[in-house]
Chains A and B, each alone.
Chain A
Amino acid sequence: MPNTQIVIHSIKTLELNDQYNESNLDTDILDHLKDKKSRKLMSKQDKLGLMSAASSWKSANLKYDQDKVGIYFCVGILPFEDKHLTKLAEYSSVENHFDYYKFSTDGFNSMNPLLTFKCLPNMPLFHISYNLDITGRYFMTYPSSEDLICSLERAIEDIEYGDIDYAIIGGACDQQNILVRHHLNRISKRNLDLFPDCSGAITISKKSPVKGDIIIKSINSHYLVHNPIESTNQEVSNFGAVDFLFQIQNFIQSSSQSCTLSSGHSKIELEKYYE
């Protein structure tokens, strides 16, 4: 194929805020579920991930072989939800202290089996693959900007080597989560309101570009080896994966012809095809 390049077919980003809240997400996610009842198995992170991935994939409107689509996804750390943890803590303590016997009886019995499905970080991958009927390759990783670069590099390599035709690359972060906020509070001096619940996804393939197509010209990851326990004052880039996707969306909506996006120490060079 002459002049084939890696092209972004579509992008979807999502942020929970006053205008679009978790209740809206709970309703809208039903449009993407094969089985509506499966919503009860989904954490907020799962819903965010599926919402962006499904919206991006469907708007790309591609004819596909389910074995030749890959999913490359970044998710947050510890997607436990406070309401489950509050109940578990309540039923597992005696006189304000954790008690092994109480945990193994009342605490254990209070645990909804669904909690296990909701807290596993690889579950967004299941919900996306199941609801979109995708059985190709995958790469499931954490949510830093470097992790998104690794996901994007892997997706492009899998396309270049013919393992897949299309790739969905995305990320989902449940950052209002009590444990995540504890963690961020410890390592960052920044206002935690700057870390909303969010997700994003792009759909890419290799093709001959036409006018207006968004081309990925280059990706570059510069990894600074560090000890994260010692570097408590560094700028937090834990959730840079979704930050990158928001930047891509902003570029697409702008009048700029090209740009270099950066998050953490990583860069993506994009260009709008105009010939």
Chain B
Amino acid sequence: MSKVVVTGMGIVSPIGNRIETFLASLKNSQNGAGHVTRFETCELPTKIVCEVKDFNSDFRDVKISFAQEAARQAIKHANIEVMPNNSRLSIGIGLELFSMEDLVKVHRKLATDSDHKNMTFLNTPSDICCHLISKEHALSQSPLIHISACAAGSDAIGSAFLKIKRGQSDLILAGGTDSMINPMGLAGFCRIGAMTKKNDTPFLASNPFDKRRDGFLLGEGAGFLVLESLEHAQKRGAKILAEISGYGNSLDAYSISDPHPKGEGAIKCMERALKSAKLSPNDIDAISAHATGTPKNDPAESAAIRSVFKNNWQDIPVMATKSMIGHLISAAGAVETITSVLSLQNNFLHKTLNLEQIDSECELKHIIDSNQSFNGDHIIKNSFGFGGQNASLIISRYKG
């Protein structure tokens, strides 16, 4: 079976729209939070998010443009001259943009023909983005489209990993894109009580594993990685950035809204990823946690990590990237996988922001005061979706 390597990356995020600026922001502990600027939040309980800055979108549904831009960067970064004929896209993607303005026009029967053409939920279902990217980059096989909520980005990379490892493809552009920073998206998450309400202190609002956490901070963006079989990458002389060495997913089958309190689904996907990589828990050198900052998710993930790494969890540093960029939903796993690749390439782990009072149920080896130097070989990346869909990836240092 083929080894799977990363040869290109592209990103649009709340703390940088190029890999170089994103890396600098990680190193400088940049915080992407702020008040919503895209629409008036008025009396909504949450008025803060992590928006992408300095970005002009061609689509009203900004996640389509985010994906196109991140995909272009990744393909350019990988320096691909000829796309192999078994290439494809593997993408995690969120819901269609649901425009309230359009909805009111439709229900009031006031929509004109021109309105209908421009209505996001009527003429740009989010999977259009997949076909546009496949067409632009001549990715010739059916796109693998993942809609497993917050696990979708990691599932997209995992599916690509399996396709290449199993010899079905030589090259896959894999990643995720999402933005739910719109009235319906923000209100929907508020209505189920999932979001932080720290409106007066946006920079302190996303605090995974901290006693004071009160919900996640919504983010947006896209991340894509070019994955290739090692043979294909070597044959064309590509620069290899890292290796994807394992993937596992699992179903909680527990609750529609809550994770299993002992993290049973999370344990299964981490163990499956380790088995897939032929690694033991002792081989893992760092963890990129899902770490949403919600009251129930963080203890469940912490319990799962302590269970899987029972002999050495006190020695494995844990990163919580959502403390800087918020929760990118279907793009989260992809952007946080890019963070892991950058950690391996640049020999550091970023610190978790706003973690001052560690919750006793979230006891792990957190990176608190400053970034940490890192010369380990394997990082496990967790993503857990609403509705009990869990995915873990293992990103490894490529040693030639």
Indicate whether A150 reaches chain B with its CB closer than 8 angstroms: yes
Indicate whether B223 reaches chain A with its CB closer than 8 angstroms: no
Per the CB 8 Å criterion, the residue count for chain A at the interface is 73
Interface-lining segment among B301-309, B341-349, B381-389? B381-389
Q: Which residues of B contact A141 (CB under 8 A)?
A: 144-147
Q: Which residues of A contact B190 (CB under 8 A)?
A: 108
Kindly supply a per-residue 1/0 record for chain B positions 78-121, scoring 1 wherever the CB is within 8 Å of any chain A CB and 0 otherwise: 00000000000000000110101101111110100000100101
Query: What is the distance, in angstroms, from B127's C-beta to the closest C-beta of chain A?
Result: 5
* Option from A104, A134, A266 in Cβ contact (under 8 Å) with B43: A104
Indicate whether A149 reaches chain B with its CB closer than 8 angstroms: yes
Q: Contact between B159 and A154 (Cβ–Cβ < 8 Å)? A: yes
Q: Contact between B389 and A130 (Cβ–Cβ < 8 Å)? A: no
| Interface band, chain B | 35 or more
CA distance A126 to B151 in the complex (A): 13
* Option from B41, B43, B101, B116 in Cβ contact (under 8 Å) with A98: B101
Smallest Cβ-Cβ distance to B150: which chain A residue? A122
Query: What number of A-B contacts does a CB cutoff of 8 Å give?
Result: 211
Indicate whether A274 reaches chain B with its CB closer than 8 angstroms: no
CA distance A216 to B40 in the complex (A): 54
Q: Which residues of A contact B256 (CB under 8 A)?
A: 38, 41, 117, 123, 126, 130
Q: Contact between B268 and A227 (Cβ–Cβ < 8 Å)? A: no
Query: What is the distance, in angstroms, from B88's C-beta to the closest C-beta of chain A?
Result: 8
Q: Contact between B187 and A140 (Cβ–Cβ < 8 Å)? A: no
Kindly supply a per-residue 1/0 record for chain A positions 118-158, scoring 1 wherever the CB is within 8 Å of any chain B CB and 0 otherwise: 01111101100110111111111110001101100010010
* Option from A101, A129, A146, A157 in Cβ contact (under 8 Å) with B42: A101
Q: Which residues of B contact A123 (CB under 8 A)?
A: 256, 387
Kindly supply a per-residue 1/0 record for chain A positions 22-55, scoring 1 wherever the CB is within 8 Å of any chain B CB and 0 otherwise: 0000000000000000100100000000000000
Query: What is the distance, in angstroms, from B67's C-beta to the closest C-beta of chain A?
Result: 15
Given known A-B contacts A117-B256, A135-B268, A223-B141, A140 and B148 have beta carbons under 8 A apart: yes
Smallest Cβ-Cβ distance to B105: which chain A residue? A98
Residues of B within 8 A of A (CB): 39-44, 95-96, 98, 100-101, 103-108, 110, 116, 119, 121-128, 131-132, 134-135, 138-149, 152, 155, 159, 162, 166, 168, 183, 187-193, 249-257, 264-265, 268, 272, 385-389
